[in-house]
Amino acid sequence: MNSIIKYLFLFLAVHTFGQNPSFKIKYSEQLAVFVFLENLSEYYPDNVFKTEFQNSKYNTEKYKRIISKFDQLSISYSFRFEDFPYGSKKTMQTQDVLKKHLIETDNLSDFKLRVAGMLPNKTLSDLGECISEFTSIYNELIYNPNKEKFEKQLDEIKKYSTEHQIENYFKMGLLFYNSSWDNSIPFEAAFYPLPNSKGFTASAFCNNFVSAIQTDLKSHKDLFSVMMHETYHIVYDEQSLEVKKEIDTYFKENKSKCSNYAYQLMNEVLATVLGNGYVYEKLDGKVDEGEWYNNKYINLMAKQIYPLAKEYIDQKKPIDRNFINQYIQLYETNFPDWINELNNIMTYRYVITENEKDFNVINKMFRYRSRTEYEDQITESSIEKMKQTPLTKMVIISKDSKEKIKLLKDKFKELKNWKANPDKEFADKIFLDDKSQLIIVNQKKTDLETLIKTIK
């Protein structure tokens, strides 16, 4: 009997992991209403959803209170996978998991049953009520007026996906990234209409891709190249702990002064190379001659390493030490000054200041951010935490300068010969042994933005 059970288990395991990954494409009303409510928030910029609501008969105190209630729900919690190298695996976000279950369930009762325990019951109940109250409003204002065009678009997207065997690009990514996926878990893409728009939105998390599409979408190759771009972030995230540690070691053992910032850039660069480069070329028959990403560092580096990545893909070779070393060399040879450009290095930042308003200044100056850590106390403990990360380190001193500067000099051996007058304003940048930049700002009267702009 035991041998039969073992054989049956082995058969099921082989069948599960041997089958091909499946892509499911659908419309999720629950997710669409959730996103609709997000866009109605007073904290969101003007958008088509907000315009339609504000011009409707539902723009009343009753529904404004529901929007406000939705805004105030505490549904965003996170936790890190502490055993993975810092920044190599995405922090788990409860909001992503909520969206995942909104997509995968057909009604709010099943949704709440799925996520029970993740949020307090009262919060979950209030969230369900907000979605329920706004479902008919969403349908009347957004979905029904665009229903015919959107459903035709959805059919065309499904057909395009089947004809071009999109799941094969997912398999290609798994091999290139040396990653893994349990093929019994389908990859589900949820679309919803975005009326009066010339573009579309895209994001991916867990085993889901989400996109709002304009009702007159013409280019499926654009949509699917972006879809795969976002999907490759998931594939990268699903690399095993062993692979993550190997890649981390390759970067740390490389002698280039650019290796750290090349590492910080890599996730977005590779997703761009594979999605906007390789997949687009396969779908269109030629390489996209335009920009692949609306960020100069990602766009230029992706195009620079495309021949190398394509060679690995065509030879069915996964990322290895040789790939990482060539990637770093291409970064250093072609863009050696990037490790000094604030618009690049402040994308990955750890900021310590005792004036919370400084965070708003930093966010305004450096809007594009990939990874951020903020602390509001300059202490031995907060500096030590900052030291353990590979991020750009910024310390803004606005009081007790002599004491704070001494603390920094004690904690960073690279500051041994650094001379600073605590009575004068300055903004200095020092390259650390971990190949990150340390920025120290001593502020007296000059506004922070002006001081930061003096950094060379």
Tell me the pairing of strands 78-79 and 23-27.
unpaired
How many residues does this entry show for the chain?
456
Whole-number mean pLDDT of the chain?
93
Place of tokens 């969230």: 127
pLDDT band at residue 218 under the 50/70/90 scheme:
confident
- Asked if pLDDT for residue 15 goes beyond 80, the answer is no
- Asked if pLDDT for residue 9 goes beyond 50, the answer is no
What pLDDT does 6 receive? 38
Q: Which of 18-27, 129-138, 252-261 has the lowest mean pLDDT?
A: 18-27
- Asked if pLDDT for residue 17 goes beyond 60, the answer is no
What pLDDT does 224 receive? 94
- Asked if pLDDT for residue 2 goes beyond 50, the answer is no
Mean pLDDT for 210-215 is: 89
Dump pLDDT digits (tens) for 280-334.
999 999 999 999 999 999 999 999 999 999 999 999 999 999 999 999 999 999 9
- Give me the torsion for CA of 312, 317, 321, 324, rounded to 10°: 30
Percent of the chain with pLDDT over 70: 96
What pLDDT does 450 receive? 96
CA distances from 111 to 20, 27, 77 (A): 28, 16, 18
pLDDT band at residue 19 under the 50/70/90 scheme:
low
What pLDDT does 3 receive? 41
- Asked if pLDDT for residue 1 goes beyond 50, the answer is no
Percent of the chain with pLDDT over 90: 88
For the chain, give every domain's residue range: 21-236, 240-340, 342-452
Dump pLDDT digits (tens) for 94-153.
999 999 999 999 999 999 999 999 999 999 999 999 999 999 999 999 999 999 999 999
Instruction: Please work out, in degrees rounded to the nearest 5, the angle formed at the alpha carbon of residue 167 by the alpha carbons of 281 and 194.
Output: 75
- Asked if pLDDT for residue 11 goes beyond 90, the answer is no
Alpha-carbon distance 404 to 382, whole Å? 12
211, β-bridge pairs: 191
Nearest to 130 by CA among 54, 38, 193: 38
What pLDDT does 59 receive? 97
- Asked if pLDDT for residue 263 goes beyond 60, the answer is yes
Alpha-carbon distance 262 to 325, whole Å? 10
Q: Answer for the pair 438, 393: CB distance below 8 angstroms, yes or no.
A: yes
Alpha-carbon distance 40 to 391, whole Å? 34
What pLDDT does 306 receive? 98
For residue 45 the two structure tokens come to: 């910029």
- Asked if pLDDT for residue 4 goes beyond 50, the answer is no
What pLDDT does 18 receive? 46
> Which residues are within 8 A (CB) of 153 and not within 5 positions of it... i.e. 6 or more apart?
191, 193, 213, 215, 217
Dump pLDDT digits (tens) for 364-400.
999 999 999 999 999 999 999 999 999 999 999 999 9
Nearest to 191 by CA among 222, 164, 153: 153
Dump pLDDT digits (tens) for 148-188.
999 999 999 999 999 999 999 999 999 999 999 998 899 99
- Asked if pLDDT for residue 211 goes beyond 70, the answer is yes
Mean pLDDT for 417-431 is: 94
- Give CA 423 to chain center in angstroms: 41
Alpha-carbon distance 358 to 443, whole Å? 11
Alpha-carbon distance 332 to 341, whole Å? 14
What pLDDT does 20 receive? 75
